[in-house]
Structure 1
Amino acid sequence: MFTVFNEELAKEAREIRDRHQAFAAGRWTDAELADHQLREFRRTVAYVKANSPFYARHLAAVDPDSVTAATPGQLASVPFTTKDDLRREFENVLSLPLSKAWIFYETTGTTGRSTPCPRNNTDSLHNNTALTVYYDTIFRQFGDEQVIGVSGPTELHAFGDTFGDVCRNLGHAVAKMWPHSPMVGYDRALETLRVLPATGLFSTPGMALSLAKKAYAAGLHPRRDFRLDVLMCTGELASPSLLDNIGEVWGAKVYNALYASQEASVMGAAGADGTLYTAPLLNLYEVIDPDTGLAVEPGPDGVRTGELVVTSLYQGSKPLVRYRTGDLVRFGPAAGDRTLPAPTLEVLGRTRDTLLIGGNRISGYDLEELLLTHPRGYLDYQIVIDAVDGRDELTLHFETPPDGEGVRIDEKAVAGAVRERLDVPVRFEYGPLGGVTTTGAMVSWKAARVEDRRPAAPDAERAAALAVAGGRAQ
């Protein structure tokens, strides 16, 4: 309701809402979208040059008016922004002083220096409006009497504020609960979900499984003692098979709800059909070869695979220009028969998390999908990679419910798929897994899910994940 006290913001909010609703309804032409993206790209470049000390230097040789088309050839004249730039330049990247923000967030700092990520009202209006319009296609499937749990951090992180605001926009009640907080804990979070009862939950995939484990430990059954209809998972790499498993465990529909970062804000969000869509009114997207920095050409199916690069198409506290996300994606073309008329994303994991197994290179997303296509009903999993007599070998470790109900793990089918794709053997182990598997959002998917015993040097990220797991409230 802050817009009630600022007529200019109220007008801006209505204009942003109308644009996003018209786009989602398919009322934008390709030419209108291209004009919008070029115009806002040029505005962002001019804005950051005028307001950010870093960009004043970094883009000194760039004339925004010289960019007459958002094509790879023309965009190549604008330098990339990297994560190292953000860590080194810190507050110099900001285009507005902190006093002009409405809230301050920062990155976790588990794998490098924390960097400031303030939001002003313009930032929140643009991002939260896009999410509201996209998520309306999902939540309307479940009726009007909804109570949504938001199980994510609130201190210095946008998770709780963003999803709380979006659910409020959609007319749904919200209960914020972060089980790792000493003020909440798992027992209280589960009791809140059960008693309300909550019909939906925003959480990481790891948290959704952790809550199920804690429910069993408390003598409760996730499907029978809770009323969850929908889980909105975000914050970690999640393959379709992992999401399907979470849905079976809870008896709910599960979405890969959001692709975002503290630095770049919203880059993708789910629609009702389960597809992860780009937000082309918020960002200009590029896909590059992570080694050469050159634009990737689409394949015969129109899909481009490479590192995602984004430019903010709104001018708030910290717009970024040609920001290299470090994430490997499959970027698909828009299609008229889908829930939303936007290009699509599959987020395959960080470029540096690609693994070499049995001489075959595979992304984290594809490895998880390969291993988890057949198993269902498990509460947690971890991958161990060993070199035995000079040959790679996988161990897939599952934690399953104490009663074994609903568990289906076809070891033969998994082993056959792994042999065909990676030409390595796979063993299976069963038993409890530690808290490190819950740290994907704080550190990385690889650090949380993969124990690679092959390297001689210690894995700094794995050590960071173990430290985070050890310091959390249980």
Structure 2
Amino acid sequence: MFTQYDPESASLTCELRDQFDAFTAGEWDNDALAAHQTRKLREVAAYVRANSPFYREKLEGIGDGEISALRSDDLRRLPFTTKKDLRQTQLGILSCPVSDAWIFYETTGTTGAATPCPRTNADTIHNNTVLTTYYRDVLAAHGDCQVIGVSGPTELHATGDTFGDVCRNLGHAVAKMWPHSPVIGFDRALEVVRLLPITGLFCTPGMAMRLAQKATEAGLDPQKDFCLDILMLTGELMSPSLLANIGALWGAEARNALYASQEASVLAAATSDGSLRTAPLINLYEVIDPDTLEPVAADSAGVRYGELVVTNLYTGAKPLIRYRTGDMVRMTDPAPGATVPAPALEAVGRVRDRLLLNGHLINGYDLENLLLRHFRGYQDYQITVARDDHGKDLLSLTLKADPDSRQEAVKKAAEECLDTLDTPLSIGFGAPGPITSTGAMVSWKAARVVDLRTESSIENASAERIAGTRA
């Protein structure tokens, strides 16, 4: 409704809707996309240099002529922006005063200084247009009489506002409920999910499993006593194995819904072909080697694997130039017939969350996928890494599940781990505890991995502190 009182926002909404509809329908060729990205890159570079104290200094050596000649394929002429820059610069990164924004968010600040993430109307309209366009067919597959739950934090966080607005755009009712809130709690959240009933739920993978666990403890069957058709999961690492397990727990479709951050906003979203696809109308993407900082070439399968770097292509409160996300990704160009003609993206874990196991460097996504591949029906999990007296790394997996009838899966998981990583795996059954619920606040590794080979980190301490309040 606010757009009726803001003609500029109303006009932008219509413009972006039409652009995205044409793009997803395949009406943009490579030349049209490159021209759009080049024009927007020049606009954003000039905008941040003129308005952001940080970028005014960072881009001081780049003249007007260079900016006006920038092309989408020569980003390497611009410097990187890092998380450290955001933490140190704080409000100095902004390209407009906070009073020009419609809302103020910030990062969680659990492992360092929280960084400001205000959003202008333009920021929100650009990002929510991506989600509205991409989610339309995903949610339409489950009918048009849906009530969608959003179980994410709301204080200084975009989760509830973003998904609520997108569902409203698509004509779905929304119930926002944060089970960790003392006002709501898990019992009331489950009651709302069951009685409305909620047919779709946006939440983290950890929250989906914790809700199933709490439902079981209350004597309810997640599959029989609830009416969930689809779980739209985000905020944490999630491998195909984990997605399949969560779908099995609830008897529902489980999707990786979104790759995004408070700092850089929407970077990729679910489409009806089952992929997370990038948003090239509003971002430029690079994949670099995190050690050499050089661009990564595609392998024989057309996949680029490395750290994701993103440049926003819209002028708002805090557009970022060549922002190093710190996340490892696999990016693949779209095949003919893709639902959205944009690269598919798999976020496979933070650069610093990779584990070296007996000479094999593995990211969290692939490790999780390997260890959990043969198990279904568990309500939580945790991995422990140790080293024996001979210097050999050892893995153990704890599952919150009934051990009965799982011995064949235990055998297969141990064999595959040894074959793939030359690392013995033992599997036990029990309750890992509340620390596994902290992944979205801290990191997958701090929440899911107990690495006995290393000293406790700031992230470990933060995860333990948060878990202590949730015990």
The two structures have a TM-score, normalised by structure 1, of: 0.97
Hey, what does 1:445 align to over in structure 2? 444
Hey, what does 2:36 align to over in structure 1? 36
Q: How does 1:244-263 map to 2 (within 5 A)?
A: 244-263=244-263
Between the aligned partners of 2:269 and 2:69, the Cα distance in structure 1 is 29
Between the aligned partners of 1:238 and 1:202, the Cα distance in structure 2 is 14
Q: Which segment is superposed worse, 336-345 or 218-227?
A: 336-345
Aligned mate of 2:459, from 454, 458, 461: 461
Q: Deviations over 1:206-225 (max 9, x none)?
A: 00000000000111110000
* Identity rate, percent: 58
Hey, what does 1:174 align to over in structure 2? 174
Task: Give how far 1:302 is off.
Answer: 1.8
Hey, what does 2:202 align to over in structure 1? 202
Q: Deviations over 1:415-445 (max 9, x none)?
A: 1110111111111110112111111100000
Task: Give how far 1:7 is off.
Answer: 1.4
CA contact (8 A) 1:376 1:409 kept: no
Task: Give how far 1:28 is off.
Answer: 0.9
Query: Which sections of structure 1, spanning at least 5 residues, go unmatched?
Result: none
In structure 2, what residue type is equivalent to 1:22?
A
Q: 1:372 to 1:246 in 2, by over 3 A?
A: same
Hey, what does 2:115 align to over in structure 1? 115
Between the aligned partners of 2:177 and 2:112, the Cα distance in structure 1 is 27
Hey, what does 2:433 align to over in structure 1? 434
In structure 1, what residue type is equivalent to 2:399?
F
- Look up the SS of the partner of 1:471 in the other structure: helix
The two structures have a TM-score, normalised by structure 2, of: 0.97
In structure 1, what residue type is equivalent to 2:255?
Y
Between the aligned partners of 2:38 and 2:120, the Cα distance in structure 1 is 23
Task: Give how far 1:65 is off.
Answer: 3.2
In structure 2, what residue type is equivalent to 1:393?
L
Hey, what does 1:418 align to over in structure 2? 417
- Look up the SS of the partner of 1:171 in the other structure: coil
Hey, what does 2:369 align to over in structure 1? 369
Say whether 1:160 aligns with 2:163: no
Hey, what does 2:355 align to over in structure 1? 355
Say whether 1:296 aligns with 2:276: no
Q: 1:408 to 1:141 in 2, by over 3 A?
A: farther
Q: How does 1:176-195 map to 2 (within 5 A)?
A: 176-195=176-195
Task: Give how far 1:335 is off.
Answer: 1.6
Q: Which segment is superposed worse, 329-338 or 259-268?
A: 329-338
Between the aligned partners of 1:66 and 1:46, the Cα distance in structure 2 is 8
In structure 1, what residue type is equivalent to 2:334?
A
CA contact (8 A) 1:231 1:252 kept: yes
Q: Which segment is superposed worse, 58-67 or 349-358?
A: 58-67
Hey, what does 1:70 align to over in structure 2? 72
CA contact (8 A) 2:41 2:70 kept: no
Hey, what does 2:5 align to over in structure 1? 5
Query: Which sections of structure 2, spanning at least 5 residues, go unmatched?
Result: none
Task: Give how far 1:405 is off.
Answer: 9.2
Q: Which segment is superposed worse, 126-135 or 335-344?
A: 335-344
CA contact (8 A) 2:194 2:227 kept: yes
Hey, what does 2:307 align to over in structure 1? 307
Q: 1:375 to 1:225 in 2, by over 3 A?
A: same
In structure 1, what residue type is equivalent to 2:278?
T
Q: Deviations over 1:299-354 (max 9, x none)?
A: 12221111100000010000000000010111110122222111010111111111
Hey, what does 2:395 align to over in structure 1? 394
In structure 2, what residue type is equivalent to 1:420?
D
CA contact (8 A) 1:383 1:395 kept: yes
CA contact (8 A) 2:37 2:313 kept: yes
In structure 1, what residue type is equivalent to 2:461?
A
Between the aligned partners of 2:9 and 2:408, the Cα distance in structure 1 is 54
CA contact (8 A) 1:377 1:408 kept: no
- Look up the SS of the partner of 2:294 in the other structure: coil
In structure 2, what residue type is equivalent to 1:41?
L
Q: What's the Cα RMSD here?
A: 1.3
CA contact (8 A) 2:152 2:203 kept: yes
Say whether 1:270 aligns with 2:278: no
Between the aligned partners of 1:309 and 1:173, the Cα distance in structure 2 is 35
